[in-house]
Amino acid sequence: MTKQNTKSRKWTPAELMVTAAAREIADGEVVFVGMRLPLLGFLLAKSTHAPDAVGVYELGIVRDTLAPEPILTMGDLPNLYRAQWLADTADAMALLQQGSVDISFIGGAQVDRFGNLNTSYIGGVENITTRLPGSGGACDLACLAKRHIIIMSHEKRRFVPRVDYITSPGYGDGGNWRQQVGLPRGGPSTVITTLGILRFDSDSREMALSSVHPGITADMVAENTGWPLHISADLSQTPEPSDEELVMLRRFDPQGYWTGRKS
Amino acid sequence: MSTSKLLTLSEAVSRFVPDGSSLTMGLSLESLIPFAAAHEIIRQRKRNLTLIGPISDILFDQIIGAGCVRNVRAAWVGNVITGSCYNFRRAIETRTLEMEDHSNLTVAMALRAGAMGVPFMPARTALGSDLFKTNANLKIINCPFSGDRLTAVAAINPDVAIVHVQRADEYGNAHVWGNLGVTRDACLASRSIIITAEEIVSPDIISRDPNRVITPGFRVSAVVHRPWGGHPSPVPGYYNRDHQAFIDYRNESKTVEGFADWQKRWVSGTESHQDYIKLLGENRIAELALKQHMMTEPVDYGY
């Protein structure tokens, strides 16, 4: 990746990640929408290829239309305006727990090869070096959605062999661990990072590199991963955001607050 | 007729929030956060409090930074649009704060169990997670009917729920609209309830629309008139979220000294709500005002 290349690009890394996230949503799906980039991913999908997607928010909001104005966070009043349902957190969680949520998105500070996420204690409980905000709804989404997408920065200190604390379960030790611990369904399907996209093997449940972003090589991804990374046999390049997607996305984040674009 | 429960904020906190009590706040999650009440708790130098709630969005961080808190039972403590909160981080990393880790669903179920008067509620969340390591009030059980593995979430019955609302009458009947979070369960689960309200209205306005009442007034201990009592969080029907205040707070609370300055400016200097409004300034108040109104169609409660 030369500087020249990066500068001539029409999109930021965050815009590429949001676009990749949006493309994971199929039309008509029920999406449990989290904070930050996932919020933009949902809005982008809804305004492009998935107009009939429905958004569920842990605050107790269900929306089947876009908010009338750009929002920075799900609690902004435009997100309440003409919502389909304003209710309790337990109601949003009921939709999740009963199995009505198709897909959700979670960010993380630390992830391991089986997609377990830590957003609580770096260093673990016995030797806390950094305290992070905690689960919020993330543990619930990871346990109860039919599938979830992980979005995070790809760095060796974040992609570790074993997370220090499991805030949000992925596939545990791999294989059929989720069934063994009693989780009713789900698990991570995709990890979208600053370098590429990873997907999980259907037997071992370990993640493997599925595509690299433009300008990134598989070696670069492996170097930034804290375990010997499997590379998919049909490794591809992540498609760039289209002009239509970029126009829409910038409408939702006009100041570039989340996507890092200087307006 | 009942007697009026109207108190000043100072009286309400002094009477119903003794040192060592457990408080639940921030119950609508991102909106209607009772910041004015939290600031009065800080002014009165309450000590050894337990804070209970789902995410709190900088409110818990402020009370922790002021040295009022011994224990937190929450799913998330941070700043929704910027990430980590620094007083909370410092307190956990120096082992001066006890933490019981929840998810939003387990907080909701703990308060629901408390509300229902049962010892626990079952849930399918958290299985396989490490929340059990840092929360002794979650246990794995087997369902007596299906045999399924479930998470039993122990009931939480807080001493006090503090709820900011749009409007209330002086007897404690309050209207809330917007997303409700865990407010209804938290009110029912708590031994006493303090309401802070944007407006105090006649009982007639409240009783004509009983579906919108958040909890029956006979369970409420105190009603406080506090316009802008939810700022910088949004209050549906009254004002928008003050994003800049959350961004400023992130920068101002990075160090202990910075937080002390913040506290001096925004807590010590704002005893009355007139002081607070003056500090906010006319420009910001105008910026946060609703730009687009939408009134509902009246419904007929007649017989």
> Is CATH 3.40.50.2000 the classification given to domain B9-107+158-288?
no
Among all chains, which residue has been given the structure tokens 């959700």?
A104
Is A77 in contact with B88 (Cβ distance < 8 A)?
no
> Is B178 an 8 Å CB contact of chain A?
yes
Give the model's pLDDT for residue B272. 86
Q: What pLDDT, on a 0 to 100 scale, did the predictor assign at position B4? A: 97
Contact yes or no for B150 and A182 at CB 8 A: yes
Closest Cα in chain A, distance from residue B76 (Å): 5
CA distance A219 to chain B (A): 31
Q: Are A117 and A4 in contact (CB under 8 A)?
A: no
pLDDT, chain B, mean: 97
Q: Is B294 on the interface with A (CB under 8 A)?
A: yes
Residue appearing with tokens 């010892």? B119
Verify whether residue A126 is a known catalytic residue. no
Where is B163: in which H helix or E strand?
strand B160-168
At A7 the pLDDT is 60
Neighbours of A263 (CB within 10 A): 8
Mean pLDDT value across residues A184-213? 98
C-alpha–C-alpha distance, residues B228 and A183, integer Å: 43
Pick from B2, B34, B24, B8: nearest CA to B207: B2
Of B153, B131, B146, B125, give the one whose Cα is nearest residue A184: B125
Confidence of residue A262 (pLDDT cuts 50, 70, 90): low
Which residues fall within 8 angstroms of residue A159, CB to CB, at 6 or more apart?
A111, A112, A224, A225, A226, A227
What is the DSSP secondary structure assignment for residue B217, as one 8-state letter?
G
Q: Is the pLDDT of residue A223 over 50?
A: yes
Mean pLDDT of the region A242-258: 93
User: Closest to A169 (Cβ–Cβ): which among B78, B129, B185?
Assistant: B129
Instruction: Specify the pLDDT at position A37.
Output: 87
- Give CA torsion, residues B58, A143, A59, B190, to 10 deg: -70
Mean pLDDT for the stretch of residues B292-297 = 96
The confidence band for A260, taking pLDDT boundaries of 50, 70 and 90, is: confident
DSSP string, chain A: --HHHHHH-SS-HHHHHHHHHHHTPPTT-EEE--SSHHHHHHHHHHHTT-TT-EEEETTTEEESS--SS--SSTTSGGGTTT-SEE-BHHHHHHHHHTT---EEEEE-SEE-TT--EESSEETTTTT-SEE--B-TTHHHHHHHSSEEEEEE---TTTB-SS-SS-SB-SSTTSTTHHHHHT--S--EEEEEESSEEEEE-TTT--EEEEEE-TT--HHHHHHTSSS--EEEEEEEEPPPPPHHHHHHHHHHSTT-TTT----
The pLDDT of residue A1 is above 60: no
pLDDT band at B269 (very low <50, low <70, confident <90, very high): confident
3-state secondary structure A18-52: HHHHHHCCCCCCEEECCCCHHHHHHHHHHHCCCCC
Return all residues near B299 (Cβ < 8 A) that are at least 6 apart.
none
pLDDT at B60: 98
Domain spans of chain B? 9-107+158-288
B174 touches B28 (CB < 8 A): no
- The strand pair at B120-123 and B149-154 is best described as antiparallel
Chain-chain contact of B129 with A166 (C-beta, under 8 angstroms): yes
Nearest to B36 by CA among B191, B188, B162, B159: B162
- Residue B89 in contact with partner chain A when CB distance is under 8 A: yes
Beta bridge partners of residue B223, listed in sequence order: B6, B195
Supply the angle between the helices A13-23 and A37-47 in degrees, to the nearest 10: 60
Q: B127 contacts in A (CB within 8 Å)?
A: 143, 169, 181-183
What is the average pLDDT across B52-78? Answer: 97
Beta bridge partners of B199: B167
HSE-up of residue A260 (Cα within 13 Å, Cβ side): 11
Closest by Cβ to A89, choosing from B85, B131, B181: B181
Domains recognised in chain A with CATH numbers:
3-252 (3.40.1080.10)
Q: Which ipTM score applies to this complex?
A: 0.97
Tens of pLDDT along A3-51? 445 567 899 999 999 999 999 999 999 999 988 888 899 999 999 999 9
Burial class (CB in 10 A: 0-12, 13-18, 19+), B260: middle
Q: What single-letter DSSP state applies at residue B268?
A: I
Spatial separation of the C-alpha atoms in residues B98 and B88, rounded to whole Å: 11
Helix (H) or strand (E) holding B121: strand B120-123
pLDDT in tens, A106-164: 998 999 999 999 999 999 999 999 999 999 999 999 999 999 999 999 999 999 999 99
Structure tokens at B151: 């998470």
Indicate whether B236 pLDDT > 80: yes
pLDDT at B257 > cutoff 90: yes
Alpha-carbon distances of B132 from A64, A162, B138, rounded to whole Å: 36, 18, 6
**pLDDT per residue as tens digits for the range A60-112:** 999 999 999 999 999 999 999 999 999 999 999 999 999 999 999 999 899 99
- The mean pLDDT value of chain A amounts to 94
pTM value is 0.96
Angle subtended at Cα B203 by Cα B200 and Cα B207, rounded to the nearest 5 degrees: 120
The candidate with the shortest Cα–Cα distance to A227, out of A108, A107, A105, A115, is A115
Residues B108-162: tens digit of each pLDDT: 999 999 999 999 999 999 999 999 999 999 999 999 999 999 999 999 999 999 9
- For residue B225, give both structure tokens: 């008139």
Give contacts of A71 with chain B, Cβ < 8 Å. Answer: none
Question: Residue B279 has what DSSP assignment?
Answer: H
Closest residue in A to B57 (Cα) is A133
Catalytic residue among A15, A24, A29, A58: A58
pLDDT at B148: 97
- The pair of three-digit structure tokens given for residue A217, joined into one six-digit string: 């090589």
pLDDT at site B1: 55
